[in-house]
Structure 1
Amino acid sequence: MLFTCTGPNVDPVQKKRGRRVLKVIVWALVAVLVLGIGGIVAWSQIGVMPAEKAPLASVRENPAVHVEDAEQGIVLTPADGESETGLVFIPGAKVDPWAYAAILQSLAEEGVTVVITRPWLNLAFFDLRGLDSLTSAAPDIDEWAVGGHSLGGVRACQLAADADALVLFGSYCSNNVSDTDLAVLSISGSEDGLSTPEKIDAARDLLPADAEMVEIEGASHASFGDYGPQAGDGTPTIADDEMHAEVAEILNPFMAGLPQG
């Protein structure tokens, strides 16, 4: 007797229905992905805190500072072009990068090149660029510090392995750099309601033992930039001009003390 083997009978209607269900599932997943990405992009653009006009105008009108809107970010350089040290500075979440130009302009006056980055989607943790792609704004400079405010400082800590120094404004590290030979300056505010003195202290052991820790009396989280009040922050008792002067008094000697060449 002859036997023939045949595959299982498949109902053409069932087969067509299965394909239709699979197609619906695939398109549903695509729609969820697109909506998710679109939601993140939209959220990143909502509530961006713009730079205040008057402090920014003081930078643009400063004859000692050259301002360039470059691909790598906002670049502040000494007007005479003489600069051997640089600082890459990463803004806080949803803060206009221009809001840091006024508080950092004294560095350019003293011969330091400053690159204020524009984080992707206004959030530092979305910006995956390495430090070298940011320092390319001033390729002749060999000595670089990396720094940032708030979330920008957290990102700066992650890039610090490729830098000569680390500068934190109202921020702290989430990764451990305590066993490095980095020169570290952490400037915080007594009235900071976000990166509170308690949080700064709790993360102190992630920094080298010789890190310079300075708390400015009366400074809030938003005192480190010129973008107005911030939700959840404390109330500052220090005027903006005084804040700029105090930061310059602390930051400029630190940067000047970095090795040259």
Structure 2
Amino acid sequence: MKRRGRRVVGWILGGLGAVIVLGIVGIVVWSQVGVMAAEPEPLASVRENPDVVIDDADQGIVLAPADGGSEVGLVFIPGAKVDPWAYAAILQGIVEEDHVTVVITRPWLNLAFFDPRGMDAFTSAEPEIDTWIVGGHSLGGVRACQLASDAEALLLFASYCSADLSDTDLPVLSLAGSEDGLSTPEKIADARPLLPAEAELVEIDGASHASFGDYGPQPGDGTPTISDDEMHTTVTDLAGRFVDELAAVG
């Protein structure tokens, strides 16, 4: 009887192990399927920009002003299953105009929630910079909120926090899109109490969820009525003003 009991326990443990292994394999496979690729033309505009230096570093994709002199850095976390390169074009404006060095992370399994790394893992790409903003798009913004205690400011693209930052004085700029079908304006408004009282929320007229990157249409999203060029300019202006205000305080 004891021998039979041990066999039964072995079968159960073996079955549980197989289920766990299959689950892990399934998650890995799922994370690699349907990744939304960066559109070639916007990315080419960054690669051809003489005012922006690109370094495909271990910490992430680093975009730095060609003439150096960055005093502010931005660690930017991509949305779920979106190619990190898809954010290079929309972020290049603050690099060349506001001298911000940007580190676009590569989340593990293309999902920010599976990436346990802290800010140091990314800011080490530019150790001479003392003032760091953390930001992200969609799920990447949710993860950025979790890292905000190690940053001087928070920048959200079509996202909102699940962590409660309301008792902090952290500078926050949250950009939303009026046509966003995923992180809808209503969802962002509902999560507003989790942000500091002085947080600035701006809704960009005509922007969809995918307007905050250059990776094409996204299932479940609304239809944008703003052009890509106008979106890039708008985000550059808003984010640039936020950076300038942060630098002035610092």
Q: For the superposition of Structure 1 and Structure 2, which TM-score range results when normalised by the shorter chain?
A: over 0.9
Which residue matches 1:254?
Answer: 242
Instruction: Give CA-to-partner distance per residue, 1:48-75, whole Å, 9 cap, x none.
Output: 1000000000000000000011111100
Which residue matches 2:224?
Answer: 236
Determine which of 94, 106, 109 is the counterpart of 2:93.
106
Which residue matches 1:6?
Answer: none
TM-score relative to the length of structure 1:
0.93
Where 1:30 maps in the other structure, the secondary structure is helix
Give distance in 2, aligned partners of 1:222 and 1:242. 14
Which residue matches 2:163?
Answer: 175
State the 1:80 CA deviation. Answer: 1.3
- For structure 1, the 5+ residue unaligned runs are 1-13
Which residue matches 2:83?
Answer: 96
Give distance in 1, aligned partners of 2:2 and 2:158. 61
2:215 maps to amino acid: Y
Determine which of 4, 27, 44 is the counterpart of 1:57.
44
Determine which of 74, 86, 90 is the counterpart of 1:87.
74
Give distance in 1, aligned partners of 2:196 and 2:4. 64
Where 1:174 maps in the other structure, the secondary structure is coil
Where 1:103 maps in the other structure, the secondary structure is helix
State the 1:147 CA deviation. Answer: 0.4
Which residue matches 1:8?
Answer: none
State the 1:179 CA deviation. Answer: 1.3
| 1:151 and 2:143 matched | no
Determine which of 205, 209, 213 is the counterpart of 1:225.
213
Determine which of 29, 42, 46 is the counterpart of 1:42.
29
- For structure 2, the 5+ residue unaligned runs are none
Which residue matches 1:189?
Answer: 177
State the 1:178 CA deviation. Answer: 1.3
| 1:66 and 2:53 matched | yes
State the 1:17 CA deviation. Answer: 2.6
Instruction: Give CA-to-partner distance per residue, 1:85-111, whole Å, 9 cap, x none.
Output: 100000000000000000000111021
Structure number with greater Rg is 1
Q: Size of the alignment, in residue pairs?
A: 248
Give distance in 1, aligned partners of 2:30 and 2:229. 32
Give distance in 2, aligned partners of 1:116 and 1:182. 21
Where 1:259 maps in the other structure, the secondary structure is helix
1:58 maps to amino acid: S
TM-score relative to the length of structure 2:
0.97
Instruction: Give CA-to-partner distance per residue, 1:106-151, whole Å, 9 cap, x none.
Output: 1110211000001111111111111111111110000000000000
Give distance in 2, aligned partners of 1:172 and 1:16. 55
CA RMSD in angstroms comes to 1.1
Q: Percent identity?
A: 73
State the 1:18 CA deviation. Answer: 2.6
